[in-house]
Amino acid sequence: MKVYKFGGASINSIDRIKNTAGIIAAGKQDKLLVVISAMGKTTNALEKVVEAFWNNRQDDALALFEQIKESHLNSLKYLVTINWRAAEKKLKEFFTEIEWLLHDKPVREFDYYYDQVVCCGELLSSSLVCMYLQEQHTRATWVDVRDIIRTDDNFRDAAIDWSYTGDKIKNTVLPLFDTYDVVVTQGFIGSTDENESTTLGREGSDYSAAIFANLLPAESVTIWKDVDAVMNADPRAYKDVTVIPTLSFTEVIEMAYYGAQVIHPKTIKPLQNKHIPLYVKSFLDPSLPGTTISGSHTKNLPPIIVQKKNQVLIRFRSKDFSFVEEKPVQQLHELFNKLKIKPNLSQHTAISLLCCFDDHAEKIGKLAAGASEIFDVEVEKDLLLLTIRHYNEKTITELTAGKHIVLEQKTEETIQVLMR
């Protein structure tokens, strides 16, 4: 048994849904648990619905949701003909669930409403994929993941109840494979014990795939993307990028820590615990080998390059030129925690602390104001943070040419350079 995960880009058009169904059909002999994200840009559209609802613009929220309804019903017309009426009825049940909520006024926190509305994207897209598979005579069935993955009520970043979820997978999902070759479900979402929808935070769909793989357990997980494999740099930012055929779980966690858009560490842990390999492959060309991520150590990696734009450097200097000691530093870190902001790079000197952050303007303003009670504060914006793992001098020279280096940190494996 294997787990496949398809993101929004793989199902953002009729042709791509059909392509995804072809990939699934080609692998169904292994028995597949398929995790589907919302169709491309649907989550963003649903976020606008929530914002309008939260700001008491119910008519705007309903009008925006009507566009989402029409888009999915239009897709259905091109995917399903034999059982169109039943398929339409299923989608309309999801529409009704959201519209009931949108006719009320908000009385709970924003994050609660966010999860109740945004989860609709995955429910709709996974239904379309499953319906098309059935239309093509694949023995497939659809499962509402909210009946399977139990979470707490920390909306937008819910924590998994692993024991309950494991029992549900064992008793509800596994028996389905006695009848079906493919079980289609949703990524990113779950439900509380009060049957309130929740979402699992950043990269939640990948995490969902890892949860199922761990608890089934599965032979492997394949994440299907619109790139050939994991690259050593973002091909949109650099010309000469290299495919990395194999990576260790540890290396992927390091890459993610420094900001690489690869696999989130929370996805890696459930796979690492069960020694389940993760494959990153291209849905545009499934014949390509892609990247294998596993527990095996990988040698002779190329320089791995991560760049983060729109960085802010804040210099916190002692007001009286005394040494920066433990207590003011602790107060500063308490302020970081309060604002939910963390440095991407930090460095101590005798009388100052230098920290580099993503430029979240509101948080940076509050941080500078709060810290000014303890330190003299200086803020510099519009910087670029370059991280190179497995660096060599040639790569450093090429990537820093013509730049002014503001801050630099180097270890045996990694160099970070903040530049203007």
Question: Of 202, 226, 250, which residue constitutes the final position of a domain?
Answer: 226
Q: Is residue 311 part of a domain?
A: yes
Q: How far is it, in rounded angstroms, from Cα 209 to Cα 321?
A: 53
Token readout for 228 is 């050939």
**Four-residue CA torsion sign, 203, 206, 207, 208:** positive
Q: Choose the weakest-confidence range: 44-48, 75-79, 297-301, 379-383.
A: 297-301
pLDDT at 16: 98
Beta-bridge partners for 306? 387
Residues 203 and 60 in one domain: yes
Residues 191 and 48 in one domain: yes
Residues 60 and 203 in one domain: yes
Residue 314: pLDDT above 90?
yes
Three-class SS of the chain: CEEEEECHHHHCCHHHHHHHHHHHHHHHHHCEEEEECCCCCHHHHHHHHHHHHHCCCHHHHHHHHHHHHHHHHHHHHHHCCCCHHHHHHHHHHHHHHHHHHHCCCCCCCHHHHHHHHHCHHHHHHHHHHHHHHHHCCCCEEECCHHHCCEECCCCCCCCECHHHHHHHHHHHHHHHHHCCCEEEEECCEEECCCCCEEECCCCHHHHHHHHHHHHCCCCEEEEEECCCCCECCCCCCCCCCCECCEEEHHHHHHHHHCCCCCCCHHHHHHHHHHCCCEEEEECCCCCCCCEEEECCCCCCCCCEEEEEEEEEEEEEEECCCCCCCHHHHHHHHHHHHHHCCCCCEEEECCCEEEEEEECCHHHHHHHHHHHCCCEEEEEEEEEEEEEEECCCHHHHHHHHCCCCEEEEEECCCEEEEEEC
pLDDT at 262: 84
Q: Choose the weakest-confidence range: 59-63, 279-283, 372-376, 415-419.
A: 372-376
Q: Is residue 273 part of a domain?
A: no
Q: Is residue 101 part of a domain?
A: yes
* pLDDT band of 325, cuts 50, 70, 90: confident
Q: What is the mean pLDDT of residues 306-323?
A: 91
**If we measure between CA atoms, which residue out of 222, 38, 228, 234 comes closest to residue 119?**
38
- Please give the tally of structural domains in the chain: 2
- Domain harbouring 122, CATH code: 3.40.1160.10
Question: Of 173, 193, 226, which residue constitutes the final position of a domain?
Answer: 226
pLDDT mean across residues, the chain: 95
Residues 44 and 173 in one domain: yes
pLDDT, tens only, 21-43: 999 999 999 999 999 999 999 99
pLDDT at 329: 87
Residue 287: pLDDT above 80?
yes
Q: Is residue 317 part of a domain?
A: yes
Residue 405: which domain range? 304-419
Phi, psi at 156, each rounded to 5°: 80, -10
Q: Is residue 84 part of a domain?
A: yes
Q: Is residue 21 part of a domain?
A: yes
Q: Is residue 93 part of a domain?
A: yes
pLDDT at 319: 87
In this prediction, what percent of the chain has a pLDDT beyond 70?
Answer: 100
Q: Choose the weakest-confidence range: 300-309, 328-337, 385-394.
A: 328-337
Residues 220 and 314 in one domain: no
pLDDT at 143: 98
* pLDDT band of 98, cuts 50, 70, 90: very high
Question: Of 176, 199, 226, which residue constitutes the final position of a domain?
Answer: 226
pLDDT at 131: 97
Q: Is residue 415 part of a domain?
A: yes
pLDDT at 338: 93
Residue 192: pLDDT above 80?
yes
pLDDT, tens only, 131-140: 999 999 999 9
pLDDT at 236: 85
Q: Please name the amino acid found at residue 251.
A: E
Residues 214 and 309 in one domain: no
Residues 216 and 342 in one domain: no
pLDDT, tens only, 213-250: 999 999 999 999 999 999 999 988 888 899 999 999 99
In this prediction, what percent of the chain has a pLDDT beyond 90?
Answer: 90
- Tell how far CA 310 is from the center of its chain: 21
- Domain harbouring 355, CATH code: 3.30.2130.10
C-alpha distances in Å from residue 207, one per residue of 35, 141, 203, 223, 286: 10, 21, 6, 11, 22
pLDDT, tens only, 195-219: 999 999 978 999 999 999 999 999 9
